[in-house]
Amino acid sequence: PLPPRFNLAIAGVTVVWMFVQRAAWRGLWFERFLDMLPSGGDQSAPAETVAVGTATEIDQR
């Protein structure tokens, strides 16, 4: 078995990772990747757009 400190370290890293993922989702860090052109695609064609925002913001559009 792992020493208790390793278990605490793993739990701590997991909690930090959860907060990073939450911030990435809520902060729309991945928004720029949604606007990228498909690899090997036509450079003159715009990338497909995706509705981004809270449900209330999207409903108001």
Residues of the chain falling short of pLDDT 70 = 29, 32-33, 35-61
Can you give the pTM of this predicted structure?
A: 0.45
Contact, 28 vs 50, CB < 8 A? no
pLDDT of residue 26: 77
pLDDT of residue 50: 57
Euclidean distance between CA atoms 14 and 21, whole angstroms: 10
Domain boundaries, the chain: 4-60
pLDDT of residue 39: 61
Please give the single-letter amino acid code of residue 21: Q
pLDDT of residue 27: 72
pLDDT of residue 7: 96
pLDDT of residue 55: 63
